[in-house]
Every structure is written in structure tokens, then in C-alpha cells.
Amino acid sequence: MTTVHVPAARPAADLSVWPASTTEPARGDLAVGGAPLTEIADRFGTPVYVLDEAEVRERCRTYRDAFPEADILYAAKAFLCRAMAHWIDEEGLGLDVCSAGELELAVTTGFPPDRIVLHGNAKSPRDLDTALRLGVGRIVIDSPSEIARLAAAVGPDGRQKVMVRVVPGISAGGHAKIRTGTDDQKFGLSIADGYAQHAIARILGRPQLRLTGLHCHLGSQITSVKPYLVAVRRVVGLMMRLHEQHGLVLPELDLGGGHGIAHRPGEPTLDLATLASRVRAELADARATAGLPVPRLVIEPGRAIVGPAGAALYHVLAVKHTGRHVFVAVDGGMSDNPRPALYGVRYAPRLVGRSGTAAPARVSVVGRHCEAGDILASDVELPGDVRPGDLLAVPVAGAYQLAMASGYNLVGRPPLAAVRDGRARLLVRREFRAVPTER
């Protein structure tokens, strides 16, 4: 009897952390938004960022559907360009900015300034002057010193709506460096030590400032609903005390964002539907107990809207075997994505453009910069025959990568292309760094 050896079926690619439009048109290839990633790399060069417009818009709609009674503000710090501002506007979201630069970019694209909130722990005079000049909807007061400065800038005949960022004393977030709901850090005013209450009393004495609500942001990459529920209880408790002391009824409660997403298959994410229903119920119960109207909720997602919609493409420059380690060096690194070095973020890069024939090997994908910590993905699987010239794609690259890019080693920031319906168009040009001329 002749034995026929049937090759084992190739396992289907795990595309769970890629945009919903991602397909594998041929073995070893990937397309996002109908546009092949190899063609994007050839056309725009590498490194290059790819952003799925349809995915961004769909995630905006998901938030609107989950929180129909709330104001959804996209956190611009995650990533902002003119096209992104247009998409956010067209999808009916507001905008959360933290600098005059972000504010001016948005308004000059036609974004309505009354749907913009400015916040930040150390606003410059230019930040405040620009916000007042352009008519920003809200300014979030983060420190006592801002109260007098802002009131003076508004002038005796002006009025500006403000919120106060309070700290509820809650530790939540994926890394210590992105937890902002705890006491003894640079953001906000603590409820526990009374600084928040003192600042609010000072604001009430300034007729130029109209206090509309309280702002609370716990941190980033939060995957549990519980911290948000605790925050609602503590902030609503403060609202109750303010009503008792000052007869104040605040109409708005901003719970910030920080909604966790998965960067690798199998990682936990925040359940948005559960968050919405539980927060809604918690808010209603707390306010009913106090006999006060339910404030309008404000939510500020950033990473959860744009992060999963993006991918980064790199070419391999070198493969180095040293002892037990294999280093795959690419033409980008910490200048276009500092997050692994800052927070230990882990990614799942993938070989694109050909199908590796060797068994998978454990490697570290490293950047080109002169830093030992310039590692994009440590201890990940790639085909054992990965070689210089190969194209690597990294999913979940839409947030806090190009937005945090630097000019380290004068390599220049990468471009960004948007994809939709099989076509790619340039949104952000590549930054070329000129060599300084000696004098």
C-alpha cells in the first residue's frame, strides 16, 4: 500500500488585533481597507504608518451607540491630523485637546470650537489665550494657579465655561507611568486632601468663570469596569457635598477615557457595552440617592478609536545571531514608536510579502537607534528564515506612535497613509532631516 503524505493545513492567520477590513489575499500577504500592504510600502517607503479610515469611523459610531446620551470627545493626543479632525467632526464627536497646536489645527480645518475641550496640567499663556480667542467650549482647570490667570485673561465682561479635574485616589491602568487617578502625581486636584474643594470655592468667586462640571481621568489601558464605577461614586459624592455647601448643581461629569485595547491576540480589552450600562446605572443610583438630576456624561476615548485602526510597516535591515538571541533590526524604532521603551508595550509583528518556509523562531525586533532600549518587540515569533529586505507589519499602531515620534538621530518622522476602498492616500508627509551646515 502506498502511503500518501498530505501536508498539514496551514493554520489561519490570527487577524483579531488587525482592522476588521484586513484580509490575506495570498499566502504571506495582507491587505487593509482593500489596499495591499506591500504596495503601500513600495509607494511610500518605510517606515510608514497605515490608517484604516473606515475602522476609525466605525469605532466612533460604536461609542455613539454605546453612550447615546453622552458627549463623546476624541482625545486628540492619541493622533491628530487634518483628515482625522474631519472624520471626527463628520462622525459627530467632539474633541479633547491639550495644547494650542492641537486646538489651532482642529479649528483651522473647520472643527466647531464649542465642541472642543482644552485640558492639561500646565497650560501656557498661549494655550489659554488661543482657547479664549477661538472660543473653546470648555477649559479644564488642573491647578489653583490657573484660576486667577484664566479669570484675568477672560476679562471683567467675559465668560468662560470651565471644569475642574479632580483626583479620586484610584489606581488603574496598564503601567505605573500611565496611571493618573492616584494622589501624589502631577494631574488634577485631590478630593481626599481637600484641594479640589478649595479650588472649586475659588472658582465660584470668579464671575468670569462658569463651572459646568467635574473632570476625572484615571489613566490608560484600563480593561476593568470596576475603577470607573468607583470613580463615579467618589466624584458624585463630591458633587453632593458641593450641593450641600454651596447649593451647586453641576450639569456635567467627564469620566475621561483610558479604555484598554489588545495589542496582541488574546489580550484583554475593556467591554464597552458593559461599561456603558454599569456606569449609567451607577450614576442614576448615586444621583437618585442625592435627590439631584443626573449630570450629562462626557467620555474621552482616544487610543480605543484610532489604535486598532493603524499598522506600521518596516523593512528589515539586518539579522544578527548573538549567543541564544536573534535580533531583527528594522529601519525605524523608538523615534517613531517610543512606547515599548516607555511603558513596556508588547506587539505582534508579522512578515508580509512572502511566506516564510522555515519553522518559527523566537526573535527580538529592534530599532536602528543608538540605544540598547530601542526594542520594538521582544521575544516574538517570526519565520526562522527572516532576512534583510523583508517587510514587517505591526498592528495596533494608530495611537501614541506617530503622535509621540521624535527626530532622534535625525532620521525624520515617517509618513502616514489612509486606506479606504482599496485606495491609499497620503495624510502626513515624511519628515526629512537636513544635515546642519557648519559655520
Three-state helix/strand/coil letters over the chain: CCCCCCCCCCCCCCCCCCCCCCECCCCCCCEECCEEHHHHHHHHCCCEEEEEHHHHHHHHHHHHHHCCCCEEEEEHHHCCCHHHHHHHHHCCCEEEECCHHHHHHHHHCCCCHHHEEECCCCCCHHHHHHHHHHCCCEEEECCCHHHHHHHHHHCCCCCEEEEEEEECCCCCCCCHHHECCCCCCCCCEECCCCHHHHHHHHHHCCCCEEEEEEECCCECCECCCHHHHHHHHHHHHHHHHHHHHHCCCCCEEECCCCECCCCCCCCCCCCHHHHHHHHHHHHHHHHHHHCCCCCEEEECCCHHHHHHHEEEEEEEEEEEEECCEEEEEECCCCCCCCHHHHHCCCCCCEEECCCCCCCEEEEEEECCCCCCCCEEEEEEEEECCCCCCCEEEEECCCCCCHHHCCCHHHCCCCCEEEEECCEEEEEECCCCCCCCCCC
In 291-426, where does DSSP find H-type helix?
A: 303-306, 339-343
Residue 376, Cβ neighbours under 10 Å: how many? 28
Is residue 135 a contact partner of residue 159, using CB atoms and an 8 Å limit?
Answer: no
List the end-to-end C-alpha distance of the chain, in Å, as a whole number.
84
DSSP string, 351-387: EESS---SPEEEEEEE-SSS-TT-EEEEEEEEETT--
CB 49 within 8 A of CB 433: no
What is d(CA 413, CA 406) in angstroms, rounded to the nearest whole number?
A: 7
Q: Is 98 a catalytic residue?
A: no
> Can you say how many angstroms the Cα of residue 411 is from the centroid of all Cα atoms in its chain?
24
Which of 60, 81, 216, 370 is the catalytic position? 370
Catalytic residue set: 370
